[in-house]
Amino acid sequence: MNWSAVFQFIGTDAPTQGLIWAIVALGVYLSFKILNVADMSVDSLFPFAGIVSLTLINVGVPALLSLLIATLLGMVVGFINAALHVYLKINPLLASIIVMIALYTPNVIISKGNVTLAENMNTIFMTFDNIWNNMIATKIVVLALFVLGTFILIYWFFGTEIGLSVRASGKNETMAKANGINTNKTYILGLVISDGLIALAGSLYGQMSKHFSADAGRGSIVIGLAIIFLGEVIFANKSFKMSLISLAVGGLIYWLIIDIIIEIPSFNTNYLNLTKALFMTVIIGIYELKKKLAKKKNHQEMPKDNPEEVTA
């Protein structure tokens, strides 16, 4: 084991991975936390976007445009996912599983199993690298800009009247409807944005690694969820703004931990998915425990209408 290579790996991989998965976590946060549904389609949408993006570049489409097209296709997938529930009344979880399975087919057909960036073709990272001539710095700067852009955009959107109505629909459908909110529309809008973010992240991931295989991406939803829970464990989730910040920080910490685990000399990478699942279980365990304790404390402090009337 070459330890200098290990340090180099930790020093380069965790930030880039962390930044990309922060965007995935943001997408999963919108479906899981705001709309209250588990969107399983993430597992095949993430590779779908990467494969589409690389394939488009290989046929001569500019890198930035391919990113845009893949993101838009992700939004279409989100619409189909939501429409299955809204118009065909399919249970949201089942609808997302249907979409997940369906996307495997284009993934295999487009990539023919594997897609690799053709020689002489440029990703968005290479385009910007001509300025700095330092690939690691370029990757981090470009990804950080995307994270900043998406997070600011999402923060802004959910502060608008329409964004607030999407949040209301996920939290309390009865209240939302009583206040004139069409909860079908807000559900569609929420999933379209969520899946657009997943596709953007998948596309960035594809362009960064210059390679995507059709069966990559399995377990993406687990990583996204783990980052959300990790963020909530670290930050005691105070406001919407803090929740968003916790996702970005959670993404970095998650990959730092995973990288450290991978670099344990005796670690067999065949155990990686099991490790991730166990890691997620531990995080959710801690999260639930913290919630339970907070509830206990809260219960004692629950405001009463007439404290003097309450007898022990």
Partner 1 sequence: MIELRNIDKDFVVSKTETNHVLKNLSLTINDGDFITLIGSNGSGKSTLLNTLAGSLKPTKGEIYFDGVNVSKLNDYQRADLIGRVFQDPNLGTIGDISIEENLAIAFKRGQKRTLSWALKKNNLALYQKYLTPLNLGLEGRLKEKMSSLSGGQRQAVTLLMATIRKPKLLLLDEHTAALDPKTSRKILSLTDNLIKDNQLTALMITHNMKDALKYGNRLLMLQEGRIIADYSKEEKEKLSVDDLYQKFDEAEDLN
List residues near partner 1 by CB under 8 A: 157, 159-165, 167-168, 171-172, 174-183, 302-306, 309
Structure tokens, 187: 């559900």
Q: Give the shortest CB-70-to-partner 1 separation in angstroms.
A: 25
211 — phi, psi (to 5°)?
-155, 140
Q: Give the shortest CB-302-to-partner 1 separation in angstroms.
A: 8
CA dihedral 97, 187, 171, 153 (to 10 degrees): 100
Q: What gap in Å lies between CA 311 and CA 204, rounded to an integer?
A: 60
Nearer to partner 1, 124 or 168 (CB): 168
Nearer to partner 1, 2 or 306 (CB): 306
Q: Give the shortest CB-151-to-partner 1 separation in angstroms.
A: 17
Q: Long-range CB contacts (< 8 A, 24+ apart) of 229-237?
A: 229/280, 229/283, 229/284, 229/287, 230/254, 230/283, 231/25, 232/287, 233/283, 233/286, 233/287, 233/290, 236/290
What is the SS3 assignment for 41? coil
Nearer to partner 1, 174 or 268 (CB): 174
Q: Give the shortest CB-276-to-partner 1 separation in angstroms.
A: 29
Nearer to partner 1, 135 or 245 (CB): 245
Nearer to partner 1, 165 or 203 (CB): 165
Nearer to partner 1, 182 or 273 (CB): 182
Residue 215 carries which side chain, given as an amino acid letter? D
Q: Contact, 71 vs 200, CB < 8 A?
A: yes
What is the SS3 assignment for 236? coil
Q: What gap in Å lies between CA 88 and CA 65, rounded to an integer?
A: 33
Nearer to partner 1, 166 or 258 (CB): 166
Nearer to partner 1, 1 or 310 (CB): 310
Contacts of residue 161, defined as CB under 8 A and 6 or more positions apart, other chains included, come to none
Q: Give the shortest CB-179-to-partner 1 separation in angstroms.
A: 5
Nearer to partner 1, 119 or 301 (CB): 301
Structure tokens, 204: 């960035």
Helix 3-29 with 240-262: angle, nearest 10 deg: 150
CA dihedral 125, 131, 133, 138 (to 10 degrees): -40
Distances (CA, A) of 119 to 15, 18, 190, 253: 26, 27, 38, 34
